[in-house]
């Protein structure tokens, strides 16, 4: 593998993408569309307002854009059977840690049973060759050590969100071994992998309780940004970094089979595991903001202090590489949101940044 996303491979490939109305799913939909893929999106209605899905007119890029809930097995199964995709990429999720404290049952239902429903639906669809299950770096049992977590580390999770993603990993492994085993590959012809990324950032993210969107809202309102844990260290990466890994991995799985199944990390370089305080100060400088930040003194629910991924497997086996460091990621985010504030064509802006990433 040369580690580079191949547009020719994706041209005319039929891709069933859950969560295409979300931030990360929106960026992937646009990238796939630029390569000529046939996209069937399946997700809940987009939120919040504004959102990337509507701002960039993403539904227009899909062969079919379906509003549906992954917790509805029959609806999901019928949609996949009708679509008859080559590749399934599962991104639909409840993605927020703090929300999971307030809504734990919804979080487990979506992230655990939703994943089980997706895998169960695939059992009824003979066209599928590749399945990518997107989880998170927070699926690991976090011991707050300085080393990056490898794919064979134990699953865990202190909060409902993190543990739900650890559970999703276990569900994926169980389905792979029970119904899509390597020994029976000649019969089922389906390869399944799970992928884990760091703290993903990029233009078009307006989610609540995420650092960059919260900061941009504060800058635009000219009010101080309130930070919960300024010294917490996270592996920050532009959204295109892990997406490139998912696309490279999917091609390897399609062309070479079960040797590429299993779990994969697609995190940033070690130097981009930085504190919340550092990230905000970078963003303030790049934005040209006159506001400052202050720490929230109220009691906070538990969140991991230190987390880092070891991506040696992806780099050595797939020759996957990281194109943009944190400084470049921050620059592109500011560029994107300044263009949005001026009424720019945000689909064109997003395509421009994807093109720039590919040329880096």
Percentage with pLDDT > 70 across the chain: 98
E-assigned strands of the chain?
A: 14-18, 38-43, 64-67, 87-90, 130-134, 191-197, 199-201, 225-227, 233-238, 262-266, 273-275, 293-295
> The pTM is what?
0.96
Q: What is the pLDDT of residues 249-267, one digit of tens each?
A: 999 999 999 999 999 999 9
Pairing of strands 273-275, 233-238: antiparallel
Confidence of residue 146 (pLDDT cuts 50, 70, 90): confident
Which one has a higher pLDDT value, 226 or 8? 8
Q: What is the pLDDT of residues 98-108, one digit of tens each?
A: 899 999 999 99
Q: What domains, with CATH codes, occur in the chain? A: 7-201+236-268+305-325 (3.40.50.720)
> What pLDDT, on the 0 to 100 scale, is given for residue 62?
98
Q: What gap in Å lies between CA 228 and CA 296, rounded to an integer?
A: 5
Q: What is the mean pLDDT of residues 274-287?
A: 94
Q: What gap in Å lies between CA 149 and CA 243, rounded to an integer?
A: 20
> What pLDDT, on the 0 to 100 scale, is given for residue 301?
63
How many CB atoms are located within 10 Å of the residue 175 CB?
A: 20
Q: What is the pLDDT of residues 302-336, one digit of tens each?
A: 566 678 899 999 999 999 999 999 999 999 999 99
> What pLDDT, on the 0 to 100 scale, is given for residue 69?
98
Alpha-carbon dihedral angle through residues 157, 158, 162, 164, given to the nearest 10 degrees: 80
| Residue 213, pLDDT above cutoff 70 | yes
Confidence of residue 1 (pLDDT cuts 50, 70, 90): confident
Q: What is the mean pLDDT of residues 71-92?
A: 98
Which residue, among 208, 246, 18, 20, has the nearest Cα to 102 in the 3D structure?
208
- DSSP conformational letter for 259: G
């Amino acid at each position: 593998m040369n580690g580079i996303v191949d547009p020719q491979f994706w041209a005319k490939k039929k891709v069933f993408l859950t969560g295409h109305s979300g931030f990360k799913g929106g960026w992937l939909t646009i990238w796939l569309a630029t390569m000529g893929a046939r996209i069937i999106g399946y997700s809940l209605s987009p939120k919040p307002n504004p959102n990337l899905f509507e701002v960039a007119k993403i539904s227009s890029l899909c062969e079919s854009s379906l509003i549906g809930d992954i917790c509805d097995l029959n609806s999901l199964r019928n949609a996949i059977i009708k679509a008859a995709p080559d590749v399934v990429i599962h991104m639909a999720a409840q993605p927020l840690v703090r929300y999971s404290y307030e809504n734990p049952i919804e979080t487990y239902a979506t992230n655990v049973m939703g994943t089980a429903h997706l895998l169960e639906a695939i059992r009824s669809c003979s066209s599928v060759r590749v399945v990518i299950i997107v989880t998170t770096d927070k699926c690991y049992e976090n011991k707050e050590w300085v080393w990056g977590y490898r794919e064979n580390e134990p699953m865990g999770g202190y909060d409902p969100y993190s543990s739900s993603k650890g559970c999703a990993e276990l569900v994926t492994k169980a389905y792979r071994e029970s119904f899509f085993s390597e020994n029976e590959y000649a019969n089922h012809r389906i390869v399944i992998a799970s992928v884990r990324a760091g703290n993903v950032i990029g233009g078009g993210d307006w989610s609540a309780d995420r650092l960059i969107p919260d900061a941009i809202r504060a800058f635009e309102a000219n009010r101080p940004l309130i930070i919960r844990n300024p010294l917490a260290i996270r592996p920050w990466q532009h959204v295109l970094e892990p997406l490139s890994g998912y696309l490279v991995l999917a091609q390897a799985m399609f062309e070479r089979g079960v040797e590429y199944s299993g779990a994969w990390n697609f995190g940033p370089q070690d130097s981009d595991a930085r504190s919340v305080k550092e990230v905000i100060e970078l963003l303030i400088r790049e934005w040209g903001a006159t506001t400052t930040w202050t720490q929230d003194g109220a009691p906070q629910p538990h969140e991991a202090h230190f987390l880092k991924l070891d991506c040696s497997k992806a780099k050595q086996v797939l020759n996957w590489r990281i194109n943009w460091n944190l400084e470049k990621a921050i620059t592109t985010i500011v560029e994107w949101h300044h263009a949005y504030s001026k009424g720019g064509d945000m689909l064109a802006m997003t395509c421009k940044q994807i093109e720039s990433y590919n040329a880096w």
